[in-house]
A and B are shown apart, each in its own frame.
Chain A
Amino acid sequence: MSILREIVTIISVLAIPGLILFFLVYGQFKRIRVYEAMVEGGKEGFTIAVKIIPYLVAMLVGIAIFRASGAMDFLITGLQPLTDLIGFPAEAMPMALMRPLSGSGSLGIMSEILKTYGPDSFIGVLTSTLMGSTETTFYVLAVYFGAVNVRNTRHALPTGLLADFASFLAALFFVKLLFF
């Protein structure tokens, strides 16, 4: 297990420099005009980044108001009977609710929870697993769809949120099974 962990860590550290080096050297080997291709491809970076601004503004402002107005705390209290029923600890609920909404927000909540309950406690491990195992669904949808001007996202949001819900239950199950 620890050898596997070491290998995975080394791969993730090597990935970025290795990838850049490999692509550029291979391109040179294939007689591609590497510099011209890089500049040509890179041009799009600016347009895409600027294109997503309105989508990002709408999403982040909505979420900020949801949090600042106290609506989120209200929702957590309202959901408590339901979460008690499935045995999801109330202490980890802010994390579960924040995770799909905001990356920086859930990072803040995670640090807070680890400080209060300790990183190696049940709540701590569960919260860390929730943090690590899913992406910020709303952010990804806003940015990715924004980049191609898609406004009718069809089943993307229900799919993402239900998958998040599945991952909360799975996290609870595996953390209990493996550690507690």
Chain B
Amino acid sequence: MPPILVTVQEAIGSDGAIPCRILSDSGRSDLLYLSFSPVRFVYLKRITNAALDAAALAVKIALGLIGIMALWLGVMKVAEEAGIIAIIARAVRPITTRLFSDIPDDHPAIGAMIMNISANMLGLGNAATPFGLKAMEELNKLNKHAGTATNAMVTFLALNTSCVTLVPATAIAVRAASGSSDPAVIIGTTFLTSLVATVFAVIFAKVFQRLSVFRVREKEAA
């Protein structure tokens, strides 16, 4: 179907048929015209639909998280009580003391952040989020200004969003589905790209936290 008709279909909210009038040229019997009634406010209608759909989608995403969150936070609690999280935190202490200078070495936030970042590296998005949110909660316990991000939070999120990727699972799946001769060929470029991005993310986070625009304002925080 020509794009213009798709737009008309969308604007009148029909999935299939588009009503039209058939006109005939009075002089000629072998010619017929199709006349569509004009459509208006195409973009505004799109915006309305998009906004309402997005609001519904947000709830769907959040509710979908409940089960996964409950599972991983439960497993995490077991690991915490058994002392596994503390062991992991101790193992990566040389790195974390430099990245997160304002967090005590043995703080539970460290273990949760490590779990989150490891899960991200392996492309396990579902498992990463619960660990990450747990890490944010732990970081927030050290926050002196509720409602305002701490330096550690921003550094953690910078690491998280740019995260070094060993297995870009989703991208490989889409490539395979679209008939690539070697779907996994992007592992190399993805790894190098994300490595560079991570280095820059940490540098940006560390530089920006010193700028006066981003400093914590006492009265706003109070």
- The residue in B170, B211, B220 that gathers the most chain A C-beta atoms within 10 A of its C-beta is B170
B32 CB-CB contact with A under 8 Å:
no
Q: How far is the CA of A134 from the CA of B167 in the complex (A)?
A: 12
Contact B214 A170 (CB under 8 A): no
A16 and B131 alpha carbons, distance in the complex (Å) = 13
Given contacts A16-B124, A162-B204, contact A67 B50 (CB under 8 A): yes
A75 within 8 A of B: no
Least CB distance, A61 to chain B, in whole angstroms: 5
A46 vs chain B, min Cβ distance (A): 5
Q: Is the CB of A68 within 8 A of B43?
A: yes
Closest to A150 in B: B149
Chain B residues whose C-beta falls within 8 Å of the C-beta of A98 in the assembled complex: none
Residues in A with CB closer than 8 Å to B57 are: 60
Question: Do residues A155 and B154 form an inter-chain contact, with CB atoms below 8 A?
Answer: yes
Q: Are B73 and A45 in contact (CB under 8 A)?
A: yes
Which residue of the partner chain A has the closest CB to B217? Answer: A152
Q: How many residues of B contact A (CB 8 A)?
A: 102
Return chain B residues, CB-CB under 8 Å to A80: none
Q: Report yes or no: A41 in contact with B167, Cβ–Cβ below 8 A.
A: no
Residues of B within 8 A of A131 (CB): 168, 170-171, 174
Digitize B183-205: 1 where CB-to-A-CB distance is under 8 Å, 0 elsewhere.
Answer: 11111111011101110110011
A148 contacts chain B at the CB level, 8 A cutoff: yes
Chain B residues near A158 (CB-CB < 8 A): 204, 208
Interface centre among A40, A156, A179 (most CB of B within 10 A): A156
Binding site for B on A (CB under 8 A): 1, 5, 8-9, 11-12, 15-16, 19-20, 23-24, 26-27, 29-30, 32, 34, 37-46, 48-50, 52-53, 56-57, 59-61, 63-65, 67-70, 107, 110-111, 114-115, 119-120, 124-125, 128-129, 131-137, 140-141, 143-145, 147-156, 158-160, 162-164, 166-167, 170-171, 174-175, 178-179
Provide a sorted-by-A list of 23 A–B residue pairs whose CB atoms are within 8 angstroms. A12-B124, A23-B82, A37-B74, A37-B81, A45-B69, A48-B69, A49-B62, A53-B58, A53-B59, A57-B55, A64-B50, A64-B54, A114-B175, A119-B178, A129-B186, A155-B204, A156-B158, A159-B158, A159-B204, A167-B197, A171-B189, A171-B193, A174-B193
15 more CB-based (< 8 A) A-B contacts, given A43-B70, A124-B180: A19-B127, A45-B69, A52-B62, A57-B58, A65-B50, A111-B174, A125-B185, A133-B168, A145-B153, A153-B149, A154-B216, A155-B214, A166-B197, A170-B193, A178-B189
B: residues with CB less than 8 A from A are 43, 46-47, 49-51, 53-55, 57-59, 61-63, 65-71, 73-84, 119-120, 122-124, 127, 129-130, 132-133, 136-137, 139-140, 143, 146-149, 153-154, 157-158, 160-163, 165-172, 174-175, 177-190, 192-194, 196-198, 200-201, 204-205, 208-209, 211, 214, 216, 220-221
